[in-house]
């Protein structure tokens, strides 16, 4: 009787866990979208965006697995409960991999941004895509150039002008001859602020994935206990 009562308790705990599991899936989707949007909106980084995408996909899959786990527990189906535990284990491995990938990428952000800024500043007057991306970034972050406004030294033949998007009050021609004039333009570079912005969000994904993976271990343990009880032939209703 004690075993029956214990198995019944596990059954309801597994139900409760799957609700938490569903919330975890939602959290992963939100975290992944936030980081992916942060990276895409900069229009600076065009590589190493796989980690947040993986997290979003995992979050979506979790919705289906949570439903699968609920059905298995409700019907006391050993096959479904066991499959739930196996799928959850695979998800945990994927989440840990995404967290590690995100952390490794986080350490490369500085070098990647430095390289991209050099290319885009050089192509500002040649490519519409580079010009639009940098103008948008400088207006949003209130900055100028990569490390400082001096990065625009070759922007014009006079070597004293910057794009109008560097101006505190953006008007046509406001950046002409204004390099270094802090009363007219922002003189701080964009890279430090952008680097911090991206690193913070990647860290959210890495930590979030690891925390959720730890919570999911509880689900695996509960699923294994319930599966064993069902296999042993105990009635858990």
The domain that contains 142 carries what CATH number?
A: 1.10.1450.10
Q: What pLDDT is stored for residue 151 in this prediction?
A: 93
In the structure, how many helices (H) and strands (E) does the chain have?
6, 0
Residues 81 and 29 in one domain: yes
Classify 167 as helix, strand or coil: strand
Residues 95 and 11 in one domain: yes
Q: Which pair of tokens denotes residue 163? A: 């794009």
Residues 83 and 31 in one domain: yes
Q: Confirm whether 59 is domain-assigned.
A: yes
Residues 50 and 101 in one domain: yes
Query: Which regions in the chain score pLDDT beneath 70?
Result: 1-8, 35-52, 54-55, 233-237
* Torsion-angle region of 200 (φ positive above 0: left; ψ -120 to 50: alpha; else: beta): alpha
Residues 61 and 86 in one domain: yes
Calculated CA dihedral for residues 112, 58, 85, 207, nearest 10 degrees: 50
Nearest one of 19, 189, 38 to 106, comparing CA atoms: 38
Q: What pLDDT is stored for residue 236 in this prediction?
A: 43
Q: What pLDDT is stored for residue 41 in this prediction?
A: 53
What residues are paired with 185 via a beta bridge?
167
Nearest one of 79, 98, 112 to 35, comparing CA atoms: 98
Q: Confirm whether 57 is domain-assigned.
A: yes
Residues 88 and 13 in one domain: yes
Residues 80 and 163 in one domain: no
Q: Confirm whether 237 is domain-assigned.
A: no
* Torsion-angle region of 234 (φ positive above 0: left; ψ -120 to 50: alpha; else: beta): beta
Q: Report CA-CA distances (Å) from 36 to 27, 47, 51, 129, 157.
A: 14, 11, 9, 19, 38
Q: What pLDDT is stored for residue 35 in this prediction?
A: 67
What is this structure's pTM? 0.60
Residues 6 and 64 in one domain: yes
Q: Confirm whether 35 is domain-assigned.
A: yes
Q: What pLDDT is stored for residue 169 in this prediction?
A: 93
Residues 131 and 43 in one domain: no
Q: Confirm whether 236 is domain-assigned.
A: no
Q: What pLDDT is stored for residue 183 in this prediction?
A: 93
- Number of separate domains in the chain: 2
Residue 164 per-residue DSSP state: G
Q: What pLDDT is stored for residue 150 in this prediction?
A: 92
Q: Confirm whether 29 is domain-assigned.
A: yes
Q: What pLDDT is stored for residue 7 in this prediction?
A: 63
Based on the number of CB atoms within 10 Å of its own CB, is 93 exposed (0-12), middle (13-18) or buried (19 or more)?
Answer: exposed
Residues 123, 134: Cα–Cα separation, whole Å: 10
Domain that holds residue 188: 110-192
CB 69 within 8 A of CB 220: no
Residues 105 and 116 in one domain: no
Q: Confirm whether 224 is domain-assigned.
A: yes
Residues 17 and 73 in one domain: yes
Residues 118 and 174 in one domain: yes
Q: Confirm whether 95 is domain-assigned.
A: yes
Q: What pLDDT is stored for residue 6 in this prediction?
A: 62
């Amino acid at each position: 009787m004690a075993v029956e009562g214990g198995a019944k308790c596990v059954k309801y705990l597994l139900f409760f866990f799957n609700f938490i599991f569903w919330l975890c899936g939602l959290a992963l989707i939100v975290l992944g979208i936030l980081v992916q949007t942060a990276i895409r909106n900069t229009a600076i980084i065009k590589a190493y965006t796989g980690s947040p995408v993986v997290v979003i996909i995992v979050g979506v899959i979790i919705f289906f697995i949570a439903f699968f786990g609920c059905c298995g527990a409700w019907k006391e189906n050993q096959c479904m409960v066991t499959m739930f535990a196996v799928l959850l284990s695979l998800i945990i491995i994927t989440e840990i991999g995404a967290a590690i990938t995100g952390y490794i990428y986080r350490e490369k952000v500085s070098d990647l941004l430095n390289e991209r800024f050099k290319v885009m500043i050089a192509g500002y007057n040649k490519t519409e895509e580079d010009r639009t991306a940098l103008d948008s970034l400088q207006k949003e972050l209130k900055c100028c150039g990569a490390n400082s406004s001096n990065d625009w030294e070759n922007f014009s033949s006079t070597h004293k002008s910057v794009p109008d998007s560097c101006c505190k009050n953006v008007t046509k021609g406001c950046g002409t001859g204004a390099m270094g004039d802090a009363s007219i333009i922002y003189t701080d570079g964009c890279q430090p602020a952008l680097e911090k912005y991206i690193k913070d969000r990647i860290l959210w994904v890495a930590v979030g994935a690891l925390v959720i993976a730890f919570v999911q271990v509880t689900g695996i343990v509960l699923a294994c206990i319930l599966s064993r009880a069902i296999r042993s032939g105990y009635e858990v209703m």
